[in-house]
Amino acid sequence: MWLINSSIGRKVVMSVTGIALILFLTFHCCMNVVALFSGKAYNMICELLGANWYALVATLGLAALAVCHIVYAFILTAQNRRARGASRYEVTVKPEKVEWASQNMLVLGIIILLGLLLHLFNFWYNMMFAELTGMAVGHLPHEGFAFIQDTFKNPVYVVLYLVWLAALWFHLAHGFWSSMQTLGVSGKVWFKRWQCISVVYTSLLMLAFVVVVLAFAFNCAPSLC
């Protein structure tokens, strides 16, 4: 199958899964913004998205998208390295007009993966997993607001999340427009436009996440008043 065996097919899979993950991040961002203004409303959303069959199906689908995106990223990276062979060691000058993020997507991807594991430990493990297994945790599984407070009271977690969000910004700002180019949506006219849209959209998305982290870190979120 060309989606698996060909380089273009793998890039298409990477692009489609990447866009799907950006859409999820957008939903997650909107959910987090709710926590800024109402802990009760945020907990209601967490309860709605708890260990219900539809939430479990969505979680499994999201996990499949993430695993597929990660696996294909490593495959494409290995493929590119094999294609360059020993010549990659001969390069002493960085190519012109090549984004820093494009040259460091693997490193950014590893940072993002580690941040994702930390996030799953802080929230999914204490919420959905705890509800499924009946495991005792510090709060009721649907009390996501309390878990947000606990997590960002720790300055180490605050720094780690900010580093994670910075890596996500670089990754998405490049990956968004690159996905559109791979899918053939970006022509001569729209190439620069998609680059601009990618930077603006990613910046607003990550800024919202950063505001949530810092608002709870400094105890100044409106929902805490």
The secondary structure of 170-202 as a DSSP string is HHHHHHHHHHHHHTT---HHHHHHHHHHHHHHH
Q: Report the distance separating Cα 213 and Cα 32, nearest Å.
A: 10
Q: Report the distance separating Cα 25 and Cα 17, nearest Å.
A: 12
CB–CB of 183/173 below 8 Å?
no
With CA atoms as reference, report the closest residue to 176 among 14, 40, 67: 14
Q: DSSP 3-state assignment of 136?
A: coil
203: alpha, beta or left? (left if phi > 0; alpha if psi -120 to 50): alpha
Q: Report the distance separating Cα 194 and Cα 3, nearest Å.
A: 24
Measured CA angle at 119 (ends 200, 11), to 5 deg: 55
Q: Tell me what pLDDT residue 89 has.
A: 43
pLDDT tens digits, the chain, 225 residues: what are they? 656 667 788 888 889 999 999 999 999 999 999 999 999 999 999 999 888 888 899 999 999 999 999 888 888 877 777 776 655 444 444 444 446 666 777 788 889 999 999 999 999 999 999 999 999 999 999 999 999 999 999 999 999 999 999 999 999 998 898 898 888 887 777 888 898 999 999 999 999 999 999 999 999 999 998
Cα dist. 177→8, 30, 76, 180 in Å?
16, 22, 18, 5
